[in-house]
């Protein structure tokens, strides 16, 4: 597939009724097998790093990931995306988010994400608008988040079924309509029952909760916003929910735990063993979990 912008890829994915997977890089040696698997599957995927992955894991910095990506990138198959840069992080600390995101644009990231989801609505709108103005001046699309995709906070989550039944943290469609109109954001990460994998030392190796999705809530958000929507916390969600979510507006799905944990389980045997484990996990996610084999063909421009 010829090179097109990440923004155009997302628009094509939405029109084609498919989703672009985004794979998180908490450890730098994961970049090579992630890129190789995407290309070997004739797929299209984003290589992504979030702030917490250089703060709490070993990806070092957004520039370090960019440098590693440049060694292995496949422009017909991969793009580089900066994932969650929070305004307030999982430890309730204020973050110099605009400086980090400006660095990413300067470093050549092809899309970026600001996460103001821990803020009141008006403040989330104001912070996201500032990022959109900065990034759009450089023709870089912006993702934001509205609602609370839980899992990164300190301490245990409430019982999942309790969370789901209550709808706690779910994205509100009316707020989403206002948010998109007032920020000009390109894509919106939504909370509809999905949760992040735990990142605490005590819990990060545990099996992730099998989350469900409220397709009805997603449909209301999709109708209210009319932009590509993003599903974070893709690991562990049953395939039937994933496929239905794509039918109802999800155009990007983030995957982290499914490829991070194999790396961590095998790293004691050496980097080559850990990379091989990541590659095999990637093939399973792309081919079996997401049905994204040959998506590069699907995302070619329409005749």
In this structure, are residues 142 and 128 in contact, taking their beta carbons and an 8 Å threshold?
yes
Phi, psi of 126 (to 5 degrees): -65, -45
CA angle 54, 57, 58 (to 5 degrees): 70
What are the beta bridge partners of residue 255?
A: 23
Q: What is the CB-side half-sphere exposure of residue 70 using CA atoms within 13 A?
A: 9
Non-local (6+) Cβ contacts of 230 within 8 A are 143, 187, 188, 189, 190, 250, 251, 252, 253, 254
Encoded tokens for 238: 């049953």
Helix (H) or strand (E) holding 33: helix 31-40
DSSP secondary structure of 144-211: EEES---SSSSSPPPPHHHHHHHTTTPPPHHHHHHHHHHH--SEEEE-SS--PPP-STTTTTSPPP--
Active site residues: 83
CA distance 243 to 245: 5
Helix (H) or strand (E) holding 22: strand 20-24
């Amino acid at each position: 597939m010829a090179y097109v912008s990440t923004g155009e890829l997302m628009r094509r994915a939405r029109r084609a009724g498919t989703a672009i997977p985004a794979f998180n890089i908490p450890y730098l040696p994961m970049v090579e097998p992630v890129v190789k698997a995407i290309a070997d599957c004739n797929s299209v995927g984003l290589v992504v790093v979030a702030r917490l992955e250089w703060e709490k894991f070993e990806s070092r910095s957004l520039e370090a990931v960019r440098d590693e990506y440049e060694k292995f990138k496949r422009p017909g198959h991969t793009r580089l995306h900066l994932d969650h840069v929070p305004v307030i992080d999982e430890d309730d600390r204020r973050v110099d988010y605009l400086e980090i995101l400006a660095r990413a644009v300067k470093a050549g990231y092809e899309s970026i994400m600001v996460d103001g989801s821990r803020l009141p609505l008006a403040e989330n709108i104001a912070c996201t608008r500032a990022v959109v103005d900065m990034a759009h001046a450089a023709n870089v699309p912006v993702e934001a988040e509205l609602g609370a995709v839980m899992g990164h906070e300190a301490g245990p989550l409430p019982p999942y079924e309790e969370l789901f039944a209550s709808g706690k943290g779910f994205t509100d469609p009316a707020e989403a309509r206002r948010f998109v109109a007032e920020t000009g954001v390109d894509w919106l990460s939504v909370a509809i029952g999905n949760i992040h994998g735990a990142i605490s030392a005590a819990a990060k190796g545990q099996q992730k909760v099998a989350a469900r999705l409220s397709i009805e809530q997603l449909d209301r958000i999709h109708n209210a916003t009319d932009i590509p929507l993003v599903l974070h916390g893709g690991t562990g969600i049953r395939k039937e929910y994933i496929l239905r979510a794509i039918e109802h507006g999800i155009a990007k799905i983030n995957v982290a735990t499914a490829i991070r944990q194999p790396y961590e389980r095998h790293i004691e045997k050496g980097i080559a063993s850990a990379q091989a484990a990541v590659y095999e996990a990637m093939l399973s996610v792309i081919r079996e979990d997401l049905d994204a084999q040959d998506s590069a063909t699907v995302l070619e421009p329409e005749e």
